[in-house]
């Protein structure tokens, strides 16, 4: 699936949602996110042996009103083995940002460089760097350092009781210079994958608050995501607003395909309403 995200922004929101010191008023409306997508990024699934975009050099994604913004589109450059190595984001003809991505020998992302940002047009920055320790193809330790905030996260494999179940501990470290304050968060994950190395169940437990979030994800036979269901324990006494388009704790996706079985149009179904969120073309 072709999707573009600001993962640094997502990780910040993810910490806010789970941070135990945050006090919520009943029925207060807050912002939520598509955490299932964040989880896939967080656990850096090993790159599949087949190409993601066979015989494709360019992927263009046009957003529709259902994705939160008409007039926005991205162009992704694909390397010879199907990996996204450059992303440009536009609003109509106006370039908003450009990002380059580098990979290690196991095709997991190790570097993101901001080549251009409309907010800092004359600046070339490293967004984040990431390193891994492996046991064969399993990631046993993943360290991410965010350049702009100097925050970092360490994801460490705690145990693997069988071939499909993994237990990880994520420790995130934060520092705010203006407040001269250091703190950290710890989250424990139980991850279950299917035979295709796709995450089908995961449970996140904040070790300070005890809050849990559980997700189940199903896929179509071709590997594209079909449905995602989220449960919170305990349930929040608040209403959630999903950013970036229509969203819900129970959400489904549908697709149409071109002659090469690549996604042409993507739809999401929320509360029995169907929204077209993206159209794709390939060169």
Domain boundaries, given as residue ranges, for the chain: 7-282
Contact indicator for 76, 59 with CB cutoff of 8 Å: yes
Quote the DSSP letter at residue 48: P
What is the rounded CA–CA span in Å between residue 25 and residue 244? Answer: 24
Span 66-124, pLDDT tens digits: 766 778 999 999 999 889 999 999 999 999 999 999 999 888 899 999 999 999 888 88
Tell me, what's the pLDDT at 48?
43
**What DSSP line would sit under 57-89, residue for residue?**
SEEEEEE-GGGT-TTEEEEEEE-TTS-EEEEEE
CATH 2.40.160 fits 7-282, yes or no: yes
Q: Which of 159, 235, 227 is nearest to 190 (CA)?
A: 159
Q: What's the whole-number average pLDDT of the chain?
A: 81
Average confidence (pLDDT) per 10 residues, the chain, 283 residues: 33 34 38 41 45 83 80 94 94 95 90 94 91 88 88 94 94 86 92 90 94 95 94 83 81 95 94 94 95
């Amino acid at each position: 699936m072709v999707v573009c995200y600001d993962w640094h922004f997502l990780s910040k929101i993810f910490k806010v949602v789970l941070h135990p010191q945050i006090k919520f008023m009943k029925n207060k409306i807050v912002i939520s996110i598509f955490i299932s997508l964040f989880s896939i990024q967080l656990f850096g699934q090993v790159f599949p042996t087949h190409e993601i975009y066979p015989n494709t050099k360019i992927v263009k994604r046009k957003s529709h009103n259902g994705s939160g913004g008409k007039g926005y589109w991205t162009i992704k450059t694909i390397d010879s083995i199907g990996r996204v190595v450059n992303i440009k984001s536009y609003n109509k003809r106006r370039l908003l940002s450009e990002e380059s991505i580098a990979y290690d020998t196991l095709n997991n992302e190790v570097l993101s460089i901001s080549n251009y940002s409309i907010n800092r047009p004359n600046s070339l920055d490293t967004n984040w760097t990431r390193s891994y320790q492996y046991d064969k193809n399993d990631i046993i330790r993943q360290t991410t350092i965010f350049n702009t905030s100097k925050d970092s996260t360490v994801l460490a494999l705690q145990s693997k009781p069988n071939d499909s179940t993994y237990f990880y501990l994520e420790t995130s470290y934060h520092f705010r210079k203006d407040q001269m304050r250091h703190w950290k968060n710890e989250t424990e994950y139980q991850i279950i994958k299917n035979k295709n190395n796709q995450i089908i169940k995961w449970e996140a437990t904040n070790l300070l608050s005890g809050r849990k979030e559980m997700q189940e994800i199903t896929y179509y036979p071709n590997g594209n995501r079909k449905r995602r269901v989220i449960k919170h324990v305990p349930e929040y006494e608040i209403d959630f607003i999903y950013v970036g388009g229509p969203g819900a704790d129970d959400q489904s996706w549908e697709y149409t395909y071109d002659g090469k079985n690549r996604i042409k149009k993507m739809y999401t179904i929320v509360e029995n309403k169907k929204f077209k969120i993206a159209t794709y073309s390939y060169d």
